[in-house]
Structure 1
């Protein structure tokens, strides 16, 4: 796989930020200095800085430069389809995944109705994500058997999307997401080791293939003290 130079630079700068070489509140070197440091063009540096901005690592201030932001929480992109394993690698969380449930189960009735389906058979997977020995996310996935007939515990333990895309050849294209903050059910509260009154960030996703076929429904429940949700938005006048 060919890795773009701007992405390599963004990764290097990200590592330096996370390890304190560039501390919170400090300015990164200027674009001119970075072009010399990485022996590349200003355009490549600007693309790398844009990646850091989208990831919530820096804020560009006119007349000053790029200020390093607080990175105490892991940045979870809102607009992209990013798997937990990919986030684990990019953020170097050294996370673990524990498969709690793996069984055949129909798609929930409300989602089936919304998708105009007759509760198709699906594989239900519940997984607990653990970082630094602390539970941080509970993921619940419903994957339609029409597209993925069988999922093993090993595949659920590792990367489902690697299995879907590399082994099955599925072309995952886009997803719609709804983010809410709610009181967690008792079982989720227990799994995340939260107080009974604690709120949890719910991310509900409907994921589609390239041919627009709906194939996966996900409920991802995050501890709000461990994650920040980032997006990149352009100003559009109405």
Structure 2
């Protein structure tokens, strides 16, 4: 029985389409809907899940957005996802570390090694994109995956965007705090990925075991008002890191 069918029929609309989306995603990832196959018809899905056509369309729109399916005019919805050779840590859309860990089915913990208030000087403003003189909160976190320290994150948040931020909050999830307690709407992230030589600080905090280079992802993240509230540099052991994206060609 589909998981969504077990939910209360009176549940919130978002919970319904989100649950159906996750149910269908699981069916794609476990091969119940194989690569290049067509999903059941919209009518069949509405009957199976006991929901409206609009709810099914919203669930399919999420699958499309995340690169799992592609609607084909006049034919249906084709599965375009196929399993990848897994890295330890796969980065995709805008996710908290906790969300990514859950998606990757990992055992993980976060250790905060630094948390301080600072003011953006000229060099830091140039590096992060935060305004010169902005009050910031910087957080350094070591991410331990399956018992190994594999990721070192250094973040710079606008101080006004994270009032009351503590090490305990940072060890759990800053994004959960932003969205759940402060009501922040996280909208867009711009990312750059490079390969850079490991530093003495990396070697001190990470289990890099003689690895000379790290995959470094720098991201600037914006809220729904277009304000860049976070800059993060995330340093990964390269043999455990994978970045994946879904791109759509623009029609000129």
Q: Which range, TM-score by smaller chain? A: 0.7 to 0.9
In structure 2, relative to structure 1, the CA distance for the partners of 1:116 and 1:190 (3 Å cut) is: closer
Q: SS in structure 2 opposite 1:32?
A: coil
Contact residue 54 and residue 231 of structure 1 kept, 8 A: no
Offset at 1:4? Answer: 5.7
Pairing 1:220–2:228 present: no
Q: 1:72 aligns with which of 86, 89, 109?
A: 86
Offset at 1:31? Answer: 2.2
Q: SS in structure 1 opposite 2:238?
A: coil
Most deviating of 130-139 and 3-12: 3-12
Q: Which residue in the other structure is 1:86 paired with? A: 99
Pairing 1:194–2:208 present: yes
In structure 2, relative to structure 1, the CA distance for the partners of 1:52 and 1:213 (3 Å cut) is: closer
Most deviating of 136-145 and 3-12: 3-12
After superposition, the CA RMSD in angstroms is: 3.7
Q: Which residue in the other structure is 2:165 paired with? A: 151
Unaligned runs of 5+ in 2: 1-11, 73-77
Offset at 1:162? Answer: 1.9
Pairing 1:109–2:122 present: yes
Offset at 1:165? Answer: 2.4
Most deviating of 122-131 and 99-108: 99-108
Offset at 1:126? Answer: 0.7
In structure 1, what is the Cα distance between the partners aligned to 2:224 and 2:64?
28
In structure 2, what is the Cα distance between the partners aligned to 1:237 and 1:186?
47
In structure 2, what is the Cα distance between the partners aligned to 1:170 and 1:6?
22
Q: SS in structure 2 opposite 1:225?
A: helix
In structure 2, what is the Cα distance between the partners aligned to 1:51 and 1:189?
40
Q: 1:203 aligns with which of 179, 204, 217?
A: 217
Normalising by structure 1, what TM-score?
0.74
In structure 2, relative to structure 1, the CA distance for the partners of 1:12 and 1:210 (3 Å cut) is: closer
